[in-house]
Amino acid sequence: MDVVAAARRLLESGPVCDSCLGRPFADRSFGLTNEQRGRSLRTAVALADDADFESGPTADCWVCEGHCAEHDAWAERVVDAAADYDFDTYQVGTRTPPLIEENDRLLREEAGLDPDAGEAFKSAFNREVGKRFGREAGAEVDFDRPDVLALLNLERGDVDVQVNPAFVYGRYRKLERDVPQTEWPCRECGGSGKQLGEDGEEDCEYCDGTGYMYPTSVEQEIAPLVRDAMEGEEALFHGAGREDVDALMLGTGRPFVVEVKRPHRRSPDVEALEAEINDAAAGRVEVEGLRLATYEMVERVKELDASKRYRAYVATEAPLDDASFADALAELDGETVEQYTPERVDHRRASTTRTRTVYEIDGELHDSAGSDGGAVAPDAVIASRYEDELDLDAIERTGTVEIHGEGGLYVKELISGDEGRTEPSLAGLLDVPITVTALDVLAVEGEEESFEDEAYFRD
């Protein structure tokens, strides 16, 4: 291709600025800007034709209509639009008027060039405004997942700043029972806290006007404080699985990520935030290991295929000897069981049969609990929950069972049998009804290996 001849044809097409003159040749002579290429071509044509040199136009360029002279002004608009947000990375995008896109196509046609030759107006405009904005803001460009994305609308003359979420990773322990992982709106009032009564709207009797089935949740103890620390608009809680509402989460805790929408701050003091959460949760929930994370951590947490360790408190009204109990546990040790969707969750989960492995199981029996429920469960509150299912005075044996199971194993049903929905089960092998009166999650294993990659965290 005769570059000078092609440039001459472009100059003959009408007033063309140096940036638009140089863009069709952006794949030549790296190290030059499009403006420098255009000025060089304009000079080369003047020398070849022995003609007077004339500087390129700016505002009256028929291709860009003068927008290529506004890079600095647009960069300042982006700086102003993003001024309220902390960010380390950015990207700039441009909504180009249809007429300029058509002019960009005609530019190459006039030169006799391939339609995709050089660089498109939109790409060049993004880069030129972006590098100016990056220098001013002290940020780096990121084409995959920037903290902020500035969209320039050339027709309207404004900037829309889209702020991507920020993420905080940690582990939580749940130290009280009857605390769900996520907020649980009241099923009767739909979370409004109100019902229509005889005298008009009144507080919902089912939730005492709170709008929730339970007074608090792990999410409610953690997410709002993370949101406030990052000055965000909304916070979403993502856990690596979940424990039953009446189960404790102990040991090293369960991994979680809080996703904060439109944060104004991205680097809060996580140690201070951790202390604030633990102080506010007042022994109900506690967190540790808070770190700033990347968006990939959400999927990593949600897809964590971790095994779990549990402690189950059990009781039976039937006679049961230690040897039979030990034999049944030994039979389940290392066994793969089939579990049809438990009756207690059948209303919210698809009915299906799953196989899960019991890696380890062990336990011991105690004497009768007596009417005070002393050994039925670790606290009287839990014991009282089973007054309708168990005659506490008639309980023959109580015990504890510790289980290491594959992720997704229904532990309560492994013990109770769930009326034959789990096979084999401890109750089924013993041919004795067994009730799980309380459950503690002792460990979520595999987390340390799964989250050691520093690529999933931010400094």
Q: List the structure tokens of 431.
A: 């041919």
| DSSP summary character for residue 68 | G
| DSSP summary character for residue 426 | H
Q: Are 260 and 226 in contact (CB under 8 A)?
A: yes
| DSSP summary character for residue 377 | S
- Enumerate long-range contacts of 351-357, CB under 8 Å, 24 or more apart: 354/408, 356/405, 356/406, 356/408, 356/409, 356/410, 357/405, 357/406, 357/409
Residues marked as catalytic: 244
H-helix or E-strand containing 280?
A: helix 270-281
Strand ranges (E), 263-335: 285-293, 307-316
Cα–Cα distance for residue pair 376/400, rounded to 1 Å: 9
Cα–Cα distance for residue pair 59/65, rounded to 1 Å: 6
Residue ranges in 97-213 assigned as alpha helix (H): 98-111, 121-137
Q: Are 302 and 240 in contact (CB under 8 A)?
A: yes
- Residue-wise DSSP of 131-164: HHHHHHHT-EE-SSS-SEEEEEETTTTEEEEEE-
Residue 190: strand, helix, or coil: coil
Q: List the structure tokens of 91.
A: 């990207």
Strand ranges (E), 271-348: 285-293, 307-316, 336-340
Amino acid at 123: S
| Angle at the Cα of 316 from the Cα atoms of 313 and 318, rounded to 5 degrees | 160
- Residue 420, CB half-sphere, CA atoms under 13 Å: how many? 0
Bridge partners (DSSP) of residue 234 are: 261
